[in-house]
Structure 1
């Protein structure tokens, strides 16, 4: 009887403890992604016309895992792991990174904002990018020439810490710092970025800044320096015919402002960006190179299922490094999209770019060449051998 009474007390005590224990925090993990492919025609890729399949045009082909756990008090622990891939070959977008697009963990609070750490996009891109043509049309043919200002998805940062405020009456701010992590050289290879945006009804405006420092860990002095941004740096950027001569910059600075206004089914936008390639003794060019881009866009929704968009971008380089006839690029982009459902879209893209003037080639100082067009972000490694390039695409995109 005594042992039975003891067992009864234990069971009652355990049951009371279970009733009194707090409920487990709610959590969720979501699998998401996009697949996108198109038949492409380019009139001139390094001297030859080409027909080929290209993935990731309207949307980048990718899959990811996104999760959140509510730990109470208006706070959530969040994470996002995102992988890019080539739909036509099945290959990873980066052979050395499974989660090459994003990989971060952090906390989010309704009152105090969000802090995340890992491989991430910059506040500059996150705030200004959604208002630029690379978002409303497509990065493939709608990004500014060669994506010179990084307003498409070409710039991602390692070892990054990002803080974003809550939204206050339509206003939000965000800041990033990425640690270079090189012993004895604090700041080498670091990245900093900050941005502001305001959204209220039909109006959206944003401004952002980004500075990528070159780690330059093992690069020799000019003129034998390797013509590339040191991969030990926390950030990297897209290389194209526009900036090949400036890849050894000690730092690269981006600044941009953009605004959109919606009138019923019509959206109009304007944006401006300024990009600087700043040299030092390890660079193979001498003077700071500057690229200014002025752009406008419009989107019109004829029906809930059908919309069209158009954009114009004008990029002008500075006179420096022995160049008197500075390069300039004019680009015209169009998009037509028919949405079969909320997840499936048929699309057509067309873009033409004209280049004139001169710039530096891959060998840097003294290697002055004629400027070559590279439409949007789709022809960075395949510029035209003439002063004009046309790209046309027909494709399908599916999101899940």
Structure 2
């Protein structure tokens, strides 16, 4: 009897030890609220349910010169549901994995892109669809799906769909780190090195490690195209150093044949298709020019292809315990693609996204974007935190590639966008906080957009949109 009890106890202890070596965690975040916006798109106007964001668009989904008020999801952070696991394999090493999905809290659906053209028509409310873009395009685990190995000495190596190094870095150096109130958090172009669609890298190999206290990180995502292995390839590097009181990070990124997606209005007659550089015959490319205009169908988008180069430098410093000062600069170069004849016609949207690509267009002139920001975070009390930030992006483009109407006569695309953002947070607990935030955006030059034209019945007049004010109240809960 005693031997049996001892055996059972030993087996129970062994099972407990084995169980302790492996674990799976379910986690998530829900962020809900209300928001108002001047010169706004329709709030929650897309099937993805994304709240309207900054700025306008060259499509018919450009903002109206009026105000909107409605539900806000992801005002501070995007809502999500995830699974992460770890198995200790000994020697200081662990096998890890993450599966993470975005969630629409306004309608309970899976988070999808907020692309303009998402099922809209040419009349009525359809024209008010939101113009937000996203790297989350309807994938089941659109925020991440990767596995890898973590070692106490050698760092972490992961493979799969992952955030880029630039997107990883933004959160710690953005003074107002709120999705609907900071351009860095709202637009994936900063994490994507110039194009929003590339803020997450598919099939990427990512290494993160510390060497003598320095952060030394790298990311490589091969394109996988037969006949030209450079097509779609992404390379990133990062080096930095952080202490309890300050931090500095430098990053660089190169992406061949990056895509930028934009909406197509249902039923609109569009011009000729994309012309492949260096290939003028239909037999040489799937993207050869069409002789006649084509009518787009619903849920179709245009893809513009670039070679992107970017560099980022960020810094933060705490001159006192309650105060953090943060600043950064990012250079983006959206250049002419090198392998357009290969990438054109290939799917850039996952199955199940609800979208298809109507046409591919190769960028014909480089576009330069320089962005800098500075701001501060201050803890008034352990429960009350305040944030203030200023952001400015300058855009420069010359030549045939400058196609916005404001640049039609000059052949150049020059403009400036400035943001002043503020947020106050009150923590009810470690997992739950309330927040109030506001942002004023000003557009000059080519960054200003033209509002939608009204009809004779609604009396709305078309005008230039050169500013936008957004405000919101929300609650965020993590679990």
TM-score, length of structure 1 as denominator length = 0.77
In the alignment, is residue 156 of structure 1 matched against residue 200 of structure 2? yes
**Partner residue in 1 for 2:250:** 207
How far apart, in 1, do the equivalents of 2:72 and 2:465 lie? Answer: 22
How far apart, in 1, do the equivalents of 2:379 and 2:38 lie? Answer: 30
Distance 1:372 1:335, change over 3 A: farther
* TM-superposed deviation, 1:265: 0.6
* TM-superposed deviation, 1:394: 0.4
Distance 1:333 1:132, change over 3 A: same
In the alignment, is residue 261 of structure 1 matched against residue 339 of structure 2? no
**Partner residue in 2 for 1:83:** 101
**Partner residue in 2 for 1:115:** 157
**Partner residue in 2 for 1:26:** 21
How far apart, in 1, do the equivalents of 2:33 and 2:444 lie? Answer: 29
Q: Which of these residues, 297, 301, 305, is aligned with residue 249 of structure 1?
A: 305
Q: Which of these residues, 115, 139, 146, is aligned with residue 97 of structure 1?
A: 139
Q: Secondary structure at the match of 1:125?
A: helix
Distance 1:97 1:253, change over 3 A: same
Distance 1:31 1:101, change over 3 A: same
How far apart, in 2, do the equivalents of 1:79 and 1:337 lie? Answer: 32
Distance 1:340 1:172, change over 3 A: same
8 Å contact kept, 1:356–1:372: no
How far apart, in 1, do the equivalents of 2:236 and 2:71 lie? Answer: 35
* TM-superposed deviation, 1:319: 4.2
* TM-superposed deviation, 1:151: 4.1
**Partner residue in 1 for 2:119:** none
Q: Secondary structure at the match of 1:303?
A: coil
**Partner residue in 2 for 1:165:** 209
In the alignment, is residue 64 of structure 1 matched against residue 85 of structure 2? no
How far apart, in 2, do the equivalents of 1:110 and 1:372 lie? Answer: 54
Deviation track 1:156-197 (CA, whole Å, cap 9, x = no partner) reads 11111111113532x111111112122222121121111122
Deviation track 1:287-319 (CA, whole Å, cap 9, x = no partner) reads 210000111011111000001100001111114
Distance 1:58 1:34, change over 3 A: same
**Partner residue in 2 for 1:341:** 429
Task: Report which stretch shifted further, 160-169 or 192-201.
Answer: 160-169
Deviation track 1:258-282 (CA, whole Å, cap 9, x = no partner) reads 1010122111111000111101485
Aligned length in residues: 339
**Partner residue in 2 for 1:328:** 416
Distance 1:291 1:201, change over 3 A: same
* TM-superposed deviation, 1:358: 1.7
How far apart, in 2, do the equivalents of 1:345 and 1:78 lie? Answer: 29
The alignment yields a C-alpha RMSD, in angstroms, of 3.1
* TM-superposed deviation, 1:71: 0.5
**Partner residue in 1 for 2:187:** 147
How far apart, in 1, do the equivalents of 2:427 and 2:419 lie? Answer: 26
Task: Report which stretch shifted further, 121-130 or 299-308.
Answer: 121-130
8 Å contact kept, 1:114–1:166: no
**Partner residue in 2 for 1:358:** 446
How far apart, in 2, do the equivalents of 1:371 and 1:388 lie? Answer: 10
How far apart, in 1, do the equivalents of 2:476 and 2:431 lie? Answer: 8
Q: Secondary structure at the match of 1:58?
A: coil
8 Å contact kept, 2:146–2:158: yes
How far apart, in 2, do the equivalents of 1:177 and 1:351 lie? Answer: 35
* TM-superposed deviation, 1:205: 1.0
**Partner residue in 1 for 2:457:** none
How far apart, in 2, do the equivalents of 1:158 and 1:312 lie? Answer: 32
Q: Which of these residues, 256, 273, 286, is aligned with residue 224 of structure 1?
A: 273
Q: Secondary structure at the match of 2:181?
A: helix
* TM-superposed deviation, 1:150: 1.8
8 Å contact kept, 2:365–2:397: no
Distance 1:351 1:123, change over 3 A: same
Q: Secondary structure at the match of 1:130?
A: helix
Distance 1:96 1:143, change over 3 A: closer
Distance 1:205 1:247, change over 3 A: farther
Q: Which of these residues, 318, 334, 339, is aligned with residue 277 of structure 1?
A: 334
Q: Which structure 2 residue ranges, 5 or more long, are not aligned? A: 1-6, 41-62, 113-136, 260-270, 276-301, 341-360, 400-409, 452-462
Q: Secondary structure at the match of 2:380?
A: strand
* TM-superposed deviation, 1:371: 4.9
